Structure 1
């Protein structure tokens, strides 16, 4: 097993969660945040006190929007030329600007986290009892946000979100419905680290629950979204 350097943040506790999919050569990785303590190759370090809750989807992690977050020393899409990120999330309102997923390329893990120019973000914007997604990719020669503020979704409910890149076009979806798209000259990102429920430098905390996140090294059509079927039953 490869030795991985521990992220340089004050992290009070390490947990393990179920991770489906094989190692670096797998076409997908699925992270299920149910805290059943199965052995995995990636330790999750905890900030704050995220809570495991029971839902109709299965157990999930709830983040308080103040100081809860998970941190891992892996960029699950490092080297991918195409990708799909899917997740089952339940935004519960709170601050306008929230980041629930932050992937960052960083060769030097002793460098301050969250400041790399090469990153993939998944964010939300909250307006009263509604929200909309904000997907973002940034690297050498490209920078693109996908957001549609006039397409709002209710808080307090479970939703499937996805962002995809097929080699030329970057797309954002909610519950299988296209929100917006843009042509991007994306290039593969390198190894690094990630945060769930917060930005890597511990700002813009997410208020809500996350059941699972799936990373695929190909661009899925909405009919192929693996996690959406769980929401639709």
Structure 2
């Protein structure tokens, strides 16, 4: 079953002016269960834990074998997209230097994938690493000087359209480049908390992800203020 398409009047106004005729597909995934995400089946590996936060329930990953594997490709059919994620990384240096914590790929074709990753340093800081790969090109957006503090809730996003690949942290554009994205098959799955091949584990909490089949502006990104503990 596909995750629920988010259809709101506000979203229509922001994206297409008035009306919803051309509204893009959008999937909001609250990461608040070890059994399902937005109605989609999840395989739980290791021992991730549900935790309370000021923004509601999140899932905590220990960086040592914890992940959630979602049986869904939320990018299916998209030629342009925005992928957002809200997370809180722990200071896991040096045990978890390169956590891959959001990875979409079809099992029959590892040559097409997207990942959202972090790199940690010894100053209690991290910097973003985002990646698009296809059979014809690949590109990594990464800059070790664009650092952020550990132990804080953070929003990261990538957008893609017409070969333009861009990364954002907390609504601020960080890097951009050209790359050829080729569609990931409908059979694709989504790994949360580790790379698809079960390496490079994430130590920290993840609250939500959202995938939109359209490039959003930073002011249209998810806001932490919209989440709260019940």
Are 1:202 and 2:198 counterparts? yes
- How far, CA to CA, are the matches of 2:73 and 2:37 in structure 1? 19
Which is worse superposed, 146-155 or 35-44? Answer: 35-44
Query: 1:41: how far off?
Result: 4.2
Query: 1:177 is matched with which residue?
Result: 172
Matches within 5 A, 1:1-233: 20-21=4-5, 27-35=25-33, 40-94=38-92, 95-106=96-107, 108=108, 116-128=110-122, 129-191=124-186, 192-227=188-223, 229-230=225-226
Alignment coverage as a number of residue pairs:
207
Report if the CA contact (8 A) 2:35-2:41 is conserved. Answer: no
Unaligned runs of 5+ in 2: 7-22
Q: Deviations over 1:43-71 (max 9, x none)?
A: 11101111111111111000000010001
- TM-score by length of structure 1 reads 0.81
Unaligned runs of 5+ in 1: 3-18, 109-114
- TM-score by length of structure 2 reads 0.83
The runs of 4+ residues in structure 1 deviating greater than 3 Å are 36-41, 227-231
- How far, CA to CA, are the matches of 1:49 and 1:133 in structure 2? 25
Q: Deviations over 1:9-58 (max 9, x none)?
A: xxxxxxxxxx5427xx9611111111297785421110111111111111
- How far, CA to CA, are the matches of 1:87 and 1:48 in structure 2? 21
- How far, CA to CA, are the matches of 1:26 and 1:194 in structure 2? 20
Q: Deviations over 1:67-113 (max 9, x none)?
A: 1000122211022100101111001122211100110023x4xxxxx
The structure-2 alpha-carbon separation of the partners of 1:181 and 1:228, relative to structure 1 and needing over 3 Å to count, comes to farther
- How far, CA to CA, are the matches of 1:143 and 1:222 in structure 2? 24
